[in-house]
Amino acid sequence: TSLEWFENSARYMGQHPLQLTFNLMTRSKRITYGNLAERDPELVERVREWWCAEQGAPGAKAPIFAPFTLRDLTLPNRMVVSPMCQYSAEEGIPGDWHLMHVGARAVGGAGLLITEATAVCAEGRITHGCTGLYGPEHVQAWRRITDFVHAHSATPIGIQLSHAGRKASCSLPWEGDRPLDGETAWPTIGPSADAFDADWPVPRAMNRADMDAVTEQFVQATERALEAGFDLVELHMAHGYLLSSFLSPASNLRTDEYGGDLEGRMRFPLEVCRAVRAVWPAHMPLAVRISATDWLADDGHTAEDSVHLSQQLSEAGCDLIDVSSAGNTPRSEPGYGRMYQVPFAERIRHEVDVAVMAVGAIQGWDHANTVLAAGRADLCALARPHLVHPHLSLEAAVEFGQDDQFWPPQYLAAKPSPAE
């Protein structure tokens, strides 16, 4: 990690001396905002004061509490509930579980909440338990959830729109997480007639008519997202699902204009992005989750590819790049560890003029403060921490004495007074 930092040190030369110092000191991930504050509280306080002032939030007691604006949407803080599939829908319809899951985390004060991967058509579901947004019944069910979020929290809510492609038609994770067979299975599609793994079904290679149909499904789902009351749309171009599989040479074996070099592989995902942007209101933000690398030594999608992809997505109207990784092939060998995907987000943030969200083993507000103060990302998405701590942002507000975050009146007894 340190070697990579010094090999690319030129990218940090534009940083303020305080931020550069903090970035250098935290490069190995062993030193964080929190443990450095224990050793040198004066330095960390100077970093905080400078960074928060730069963000126009001098009252923020920690970087996570600086508001962030995407188009006309302002997030009250920078800790985001990452999309997490719950596999608990009936015919794509979210129910009481989803109301509880989403509602609890919104009431818990998150800066933004993005729903699980939600299919744009029935065949685009990962499992039969995945949510959808392809009919009026889905709009009505999601509206129940967004109305609750807007009525009882200050948390904006986004929806992640997805098509699972060749990774569709699977059993639930707790039922084996394997491809379905027999009458329970449904046909899958992909950029090429190439199975995800040896024992997976071979998808049908998409033709032009398929691409037009899928694009229209994304467009209609986006229009339904507006009707359902969402504040943001995120397109799922990660983890080996349909749009992601077009981007990677490990899964896209086409020889026409939608395959081959990076320009060809990006063509269809960018067409979808432009079509969605055209119908999503201009004042509302559009995000895209990408897999920044396939973690392959030879034929995969690379971090360099993702820099170019992010530039193209930005030009197509994307406001936020959500930087994940892997999922296109079982041959991937991710370098797991704390904040292991943050370097990919950092590179995109330094090389492309677009907002960036880091995700992946960001284990709490200390990691998030570290990432933000070092200039590695604009937002931090946390998944597992929000599963066990649905009120994570309110817990952080108590920890740092940040008294301007929204508290539900039912929970005000837990909010410390300024004297405390």
The distance in angstroms from the start CA to the end CA of the chain is 41
Check 33, 134, 241, 258 and give the catalytic one: 241
Tally of CA atoms within 13 A in the half-sphere of 190 that contains its CB: 30
- Catalytic residue check, 340: no
- Write the secondary structure of the chain as one string of H (helix), E (strand) and C (coil): CHHHHHHCHHHHCCCCHHHHHHHHHCCCCCCCHHHHHHHCHHHHHHHHHHHHHHCCCCCCCCHHHCCEEECCEEECCCEEECCCCCCCCECCECCHHHHHHHHHHHHCCCCEEEEEEEECCHHHCCECCCCECCCHHHHHHHHHHHHHHHHHCCCCEEEEEECCHHHCCECCHHHCCCECCHHHCCCCEECCCCCCCCCCCCCEECCHHHHHHHHHHHHHHHHHHHHCCCCEEEEEECCCCHHHHHHCCCCCCCCCCCCCCHHHHHHHHHHHHHHHHHHCCCCCCEEEEEECCCCCCCCCCCHHHHHHHHHHHHHCCCCEEEEECCCCCCCCCCCCCCCCCHHHHHHHHHHCCCEEEEECCCCCHHHHHHHHHCCCCCEEEECHHHHHCCCHHHHHHHHHCCCCCCCCHHHHHHCCCCCC
397/65 Cα distance (integer angstroms)? 8
Q: Catalytic positions, please? A: 241
